[in-house]
Structure 1
Amino acid sequence: MPESTSATASADLLIEIGCEELPPGALDALKDALFSGVCEGLANERITFDRPSSHAYASPRRLAVLLGSVSAAQPDQDLEKRGPAVTAAFDDDGRPTAAAEGFARSAGVAVSDLERLETDKGAWLVARTHQAGKPLAEVLYPVLEQALRRLPVPRPMRWGDHDFSFVRPVHWLVVLHGSSVVPGQLLGQVAGARTRGHRIHAPGPHPVPEAGAYLDTLRDARVLADPDERRERIRDQLLAADPATRIEPALLDEVCNLVEWPVAIACTFDADFLAVPHAALVASMQDHQKFFPVADAENPDAVTHRFVAIANLESTEPAEVRAGFERVIRPRLADARFFLEQDSKHPLDALAPALDKVVFQKKIGTIGDKSRRISEISKILAGKLDVDAAAAERGARLAKCDLMSQMVGEFPELQGIMGRHYALLAGEPQAVADAIADHYLPRFAGDRIPSSATGRVVALADRADTLVAIFAAGLRPTGNKDPFALRRSALGLVRILLEARMPLALDRLLALAANGISAQGVEVAPGLLADVRDFIIERARQHFRDAGHPAERIQAVLASNWTTLGDLEARLEALARFMDEDAAQSLAAANKRISNILKKSDSEDNGKIDEDILMLAEEKELYEQIVLAEQAVDPLLEGRDYGAALGQLALLRPVVDHFFDAVMVMDEDPALRRNRLALLARLKGQFDRIADLSVLG
């Protein structure tokens, strides 16, 4: 039954859970999940609120949800419950039967209060009741408990003697509807109207006069609870401290989740440390201390001896705070310089023997084994792609050596970067050094592909080897489990082949990887390479979808006899242009019709066309036009000009339409039927050389 129109008072609803410092990496996910859980739960309980004016907030010591115009209660409902048929509800003397009495009890009314509903199928007993809506206080806390249970808590904690857990111990709870506390308890705390401010500047407690005053109350207490406001304040202060500050988005987000009242402090370190590779300086500052480097105005890829730190307080002695930041960065930079000095005492290739002591995967062997495999693959690939084979082979052989260096042992994110540096120090050619650094690219979604030819070759060899080896070890990804990041490897392989326009067939690349695995005595089971190929194609399919191509068009070109991923992309782009033409939809429909006819035909092989039994003018004309189209299309396909080839085939549209208007394909005469099926198969075969139009809607 529809809900009644009885109005209920509404006001903003504030829920704040105050706790000890939350993990910065999980803060955004916790905030968003709490907001979604509360909104979904209240909606399910028929508590109305204004979603567009509702927001989630978070700082290191709190998670909060502020919902706009939340109703004070559920709306009342007029309920109608249908019971047994009247004929079954009363006996011949008009007395209620057990069915009627049981229905009345279940509805909470007397039999005499039951009404009758007349329908075209007879009369039925009906119980009509008015149900008052539950107040917000009655439904809110079960909603909150359910939302908390569904939070993506990385490592739940218990504290005190409580039998519940949370991401961090909880110390206060605010639940306000307008200016009124919604009574209840959660995570061991009784709901109140007092929050807590900055630990040092204004610890509190601070009364929140009403839900809508939450942000202002905390702002007065030196807490910016809105992450967006806090992030923009940090950005503005960084640039005010030094306009050349390098602001990495990921670092900005992390620092935003570490502070409640950010204050930027401009700092410096000893310029002598600039002799250390700048990537190591950046790693020391950003990854280890959460400081923001300052770029060199003349070389944006380099940094100066300046940096900016974000303090979580507004100190009366900023010089002391600055000195503290400068003091903590000095040992990190000294460590980096020490590692550089130690690593530089021997050439990079001296670290190669140590790779044989590090297991890549127990069934596949060591990283040393992997290095030798990708070195061989790289040499062969380079020869086929007109790339310096000696540089590719040497680059692959040294690609993993810096993993054994002290610098990369301390700063793993510098793998490849330090390898290039150490290679150049040892006098290796630039192409070899570039291959070492570039073969890790792209490291993540949106990252650039290798810029050097040798780097692209080694990157492909490394990824192909990983994919085939891990599949051979029986560890292909399942569900969300992908410990060897094979999906990322496959997508990187796809992007390199496409964006660098490399004329390399997947089958050839995977076969080279399989040869290397087999040479080590690892079995490559029949069908395994097909599985790896399908896995890569799925990543290509996703890549094309992300680029805006519809799924059915991707399927259409995948069904063709494509050779390389670049060839596949060329077909897809040609098909995209073709589908904007007037003839496209008609020909797609004709191909679908032809495909259905051929599937239903008795013969799998429709044979050759017998010109002597082409009886009707329309089928003769179609045959003649197919032959002419083949002559025009063949050279275009050889040159991979798929757009022009589709344009030629589009000229067949009128004769195809005439054929279907005049010709009965499934003729009673078997010879005529077979001949016409062969004609259609040949027609469809011309389109299939580019894409299977029959799969298009």
Structure 2
Amino acid sequence: MNHADLLFELGTEELPPKSLMTLSKALELSVTMQLKELGLAHTEVTSYATPRRLTVIVECLQLQQSDRQERRRGPSVKAPSNAIDGFARSCNVSPNELIVIDTEKGQYYEFDRSIKGLKTLDLMGNLIQKALADLPIAKRMRWGASRDEFVRPVQWFILSLGSDLIDIELFDLPNSHQSRGHRFHSQSAITITSAASYAQQMRAEGHVIVSFEERKTMIQSQILEQAKVLKAMAVIDENLLDEVTGLVEWPTCLTGRFDRRFLELPAQALISSMKEHQKYFHFVDEQGEILPLFLTVSNINSKNAAQVIAGNERVIRPRLADAAFFFEADKKTSLESHNRALDKVVFQAELGTVMDKTLRMSQLAASIAKDIDADSILAARAATLSKADLNTQMVLEFSDLQGLMGHVYALNDGEDPIVAAALEQHYWPKFAGDRLPESSVASAIAIADRLDTLVGLFGIGQPPTGSKDPYALRRATVGLLRIIIEQGLELDLGSLVIKAYHLHGNLSVPLDKVQPQLLDFIFDRLRAYYEDQKVAIDIYLAVMQKKSNSPLDFDRRVNAVTEFLMLDSAPALVASNKRVSNILVKNGMGEKVFDATLLVEPAEITLANALNKVRDENSVEGTHANYHDALKVMAQLADPLEQFFTDIMVMTEDEGLKNNRLALLAELQIELGRVADISLLAR
């Protein structure tokens, strides 16, 4: 037999559910990559993950590496003796064991030997140890007297190839065929007879469903079944579904109820209490209103399900009662009254308190509101109240309700509905693909909030570096760009950065360094933005060469270039423009302005006339930033330019004629670069 199945199971205390699949996929990838490096062939690789185990199975793994021939070219036979001796030593042989080969450059020494492949059984121990060491674990822990570290204490492991155990110890534990089943439903050890029977044995003998995806599907199906019985609609949050799947080995869904009086709480407060603290799913009616129901995913198949449900109902009741108490207590005072305490909450040591930030935001938001035809008074008011709910009891208890509770409390205080909504919406978008603020007032505050943070941190010399971005400035910047571009807001970020800088007043990095550095950072983020939209990178790079400080203008150029590339004449114009750029880079720009009277050949006269025509038409189109039409007009230059290069020798011996033709190409390049540097397009 030349092949056998490899089984590796690492049994632990309960693993962190949110990182379970990350660990599982990383383990599988490391094993797969190392097998490739070792030259060991195999068929399918399968990984399993439960709260108490990480498993990898490799099917039909080659039992021994193939023999291979190693050849190393050495120095010339004419090389100094110390060079020859050094090469021999690096090959662990004496110089007289080297062979001499003939090459086109003469005779050279060569080391040639056959290397016998190692047994897979002898290689797997180191492979698994490396795979475990390389797992992405932020914080490792120790347990007992061992100095070994892992994300959770390790209790057992299996590492076998076919029926053979690999001779290795991990975490001071011996290798064996013994696994363990469900913590409550399986008490005795389970002897795994083969990798092929592993999943079925764990299900039948251990009461464990090892497949993460199978457990996830089971939970989802049970939730939908429960919803059908209750004549309700289940709200299945994908992240919560993944998390509870990582918490159970034998999922059983149970539904409970809570007192209807708690429905007086904001729906999101109920959802947060159930989802974040208890890992419960919730139900809504046909109108989308939350129902006094919850669903919990149990890790046991209880004989008395009613008792388990009653226990969960007893747990959720005080949680919701606390939320109701906090909600009523908060409403007894105005939202504005909570602002005063923000003066004691530090935003950033060098940038002052949260109150300082809201005061800056208020002035900046009012200015932005004027630029986008929003109500500057409402914008200033909303910005002033934007962080007040941070000091409410509800947000202190349920941090994910930040903004939403500000909205609720502002309405309770009689604030303008636009102001109230902006308190919640200025945090949007919170993540990729999230919704945008729904009013121009909310957009003004959202932009002001992000710009204040960006300018402040760049102004104290703390921009993101490498993978470190503690203030999530990259995400904030993408949100800023999405709001401006997708809502069609005509804003000059250069002037806004200056305004935000002066509102801070005491930044250590001078403005003339902050502004260009921050603008580069912001426009660099557009690269990822357009990649998500499947815009080719060369289009982004071409527009970057001609960008203004307006993201909306940048987007118009990107869309125009994308549409331009669909024209039949585009490839020829792009190719000719590249040729123009290359000529000018090598030979200079000639005269500053070309002289039409010096043009003698029909092809160059035709090109000059076409350029004048395009320039005249684009002088009108460009004033309205109508880049689509401007590029269509430029397409008229494709045929004359191609004919010019066919008929005309630019680098003629006549110095005056040569410089005049270079000047013509230089003016042509300026016109072709009106929207973007199309010479950078890979077409």
If the length of structure 1 is used for normalisation, what is the TM-score?
Answer: 0.92
Whole-Å Cα distance in 1 between the matches of residues 49 and 237 of structure 2? 21
C-alpha displacement of 1:511: 2.4
Task: Work out whether residues 104 and 127 of structure 1, in 8 Å CA contact, stay in contact via their aligned partners in 2.
Answer: no
> How large is the Cα RMSD of the aligned pairs?
2.7
- Tell me the residue number matched to 2:153: 169
Picking from 576, 592, 602, the partner of 1:617 is 602
Change (3 A) 1:209 1:422: same
Whole-Å Cα distance in 1 between the matches of residues 581 and 98 of structure 2? 62
- Tell me the residue number matched to 1:312: 299
Q: Does 1:526 align with 2:519?
A: no
Q: Classify the secondary structure of the residue corresponding to 1:526.
A: helix
Change (3 A) 1:125 1:645: closer
- Tell me the residue number matched to 1:45: 38
Q: Output the amino acid matched with 2:678.
A: L
Structure 1 stretch displaced more, 172-181 or 57-66: 172-181
Q: Classify the secondary structure of the residue corresponding to 1:245.
A: strand
Whole-Å Cα distance in 1 between the matches of residues 346 and 392 of structure 2? 16
Q: Does 1:54 align with 2:27?
A: no
Task: Work out whether residues 24 and 55 of structure 2, in 8 Å CA contact, stay in contact via their aligned partners in 1.
Answer: yes
C-alpha displacement of 1:606: 3.9
- Tell me the residue number matched to 2:632: 647
Q: Deviation per CA, 1:26-78, whole angstroms, max 9, x where unpaired?
A: 2112111111121222222222212xx21111111011101111112222335
Task: Work out whether residues 84 and 103 of structure 1, in 8 Å CA contact, stay in contact via their aligned partners in 2.
Answer: no
Task: Work out whether residues 278 and 303 of structure 1, in 8 Å CA contact, stay in contact via their aligned partners in 2.
Answer: yes
Picking from 75, 78, 96, the partner of 2:66 is 75
Picking from 272, 291, 313, the partner of 2:261 is 272
- Tell me the residue number matched to 2:575: 589
Change (3 A) 1:84 1:281: closer
Picking from 164, 171, 175, the partner of 1:191 is 175
Q: Output the amino acid matched with 2:646.
A: D
C-alpha displacement of 1:429: 0.7
Picking from 275, 278, 297, the partner of 2:286 is 297
C-alpha displacement of 1:115: 7.3
Whole-Å Cα distance in 2 between the matches of residues 68 and 139 of structure 1? 16
Whole-Å Cα distance in 2 between the matches of residues 551 and 104 of structure 1? 49
Q: Classify the secondary structure of the residue corresponding to 2:512.
A: coil
Q: Deviation per CA, 1:671-697, whole angstroms, max 9, x where unpaired?
A: 433332222122122221111112123
Q: Does 1:26 align with 2:15?
A: no
C-alpha displacement of 1:639: 2.9
Picking from 192, 195, 198, the partner of 1:214 is 198
Picking from 541, 555, 565, the partner of 1:555 is 541
In the alignment, structure 2 segments of 5+ residues that lack a partner are: none
- Tell me the residue number matched to 1:4: none
Picking from 226, 232, 237, the partner of 2:217 is 232
Change (3 A) 1:633 1:19: same
Q: Classify the secondary structure of the residue corresponding to 2:8.
A: strand
Change (3 A) 1:521 1:151: closer
Q: Classify the secondary structure of the residue corresponding to 1:672.
A: helix
- Tell me the residue number matched to 1:678: 663
Task: Work out whether residues 122 and 166 of structure 2, in 8 Å CA contact, stay in contact via their aligned partners in 1.
Answer: no
Q: Does 1:245 align with 2:234?
A: yes
Picking from 266, 277, 281, the partner of 2:270 is 281
C-alpha displacement of 1:389: 1.6
Change (3 A) 1:76 1:339: same
Task: Work out whether residues 557 and 690 of structure 1, in 8 Å CA contact, stay in contact via their aligned partners in 2.
Answer: yes
Whole-Å Cα distance in 2 between the matches of residues 205 and 250 of structure 1? 33
If the length of structure 2 is used for normalisation, what is the TM-score?
Answer: 0.93
Task: Work out whether residues 292 and 307 of structure 1, in 8 Å CA contact, stay in contact via their aligned partners in 2.
Answer: yes
Structure 1 stretch displaced more, 167-176 or 303-312: 167-176
Task: Work out whether residues 339 and 355 of structure 2, in 8 Å CA contact, stay in contact via their aligned partners in 1.
Answer: yes
Whole-Å Cα distance in 2 between the matches of residues 146 and 362 of structure 1? 42
Whole-Å Cα distance in 2 between the matches of residues 78 and 362 of structure 1? 63
For 1:1-20, what aligned pairs fall within 5 Å after superposition? Answer: 9-20=2-13
Whole-Å Cα distance in 2 between the matches of residues 289 and 488 of structure 1? 29
- Tell me the residue number matched to 1:93: none
Whole-Å Cα distance in 1 between the matches of residues 34 and 527 of structure 2? 37
Q: Does 1:441 align with 2:428?
A: yes
Change (3 A) 1:653 1:100: closer
Structure 1 stretch displaced more, 22-31 or 113-122: 113-122
Whole-Å Cα distance in 2 between the matches of residues 106 and 510 of structure 1? 62
Q: Classify the secondary structure of the residue corresponding to 2:197.
A: helix
- Tell me the residue number matched to 1:94: none
In the alignment, structure 1 segments of 5+ residues that lack a partner are: 1-7, 91-96
C-alpha displacement of 1:99: 8.1
Q: Output the amino acid matched with 2:66.
A: P
- Tell me the residue number matched to 1:656: 641
C-alpha displacement of 1:23: 1.2
Structure 1 stretch displaced more, 321-330 or 593-602: 593-602
Query: Percent of pairs identical after alignment?
Result: 37
Task: Work out whether residues 6 and 160 of structure 2, in 8 Å CA contact, stay in contact via their aligned partners in 1.
Answer: yes
For 1:149-548, what aligned pairs fall within 5 Å after superposition? Answer: 149-220=133-204, 221-243=206-228, 244-298=233-287, 300=288, 302-518=289-505, 524-548=510-534
Whole-Å Cα distance in 1 between the matches of residues 398 and 248 of structure 2? 25
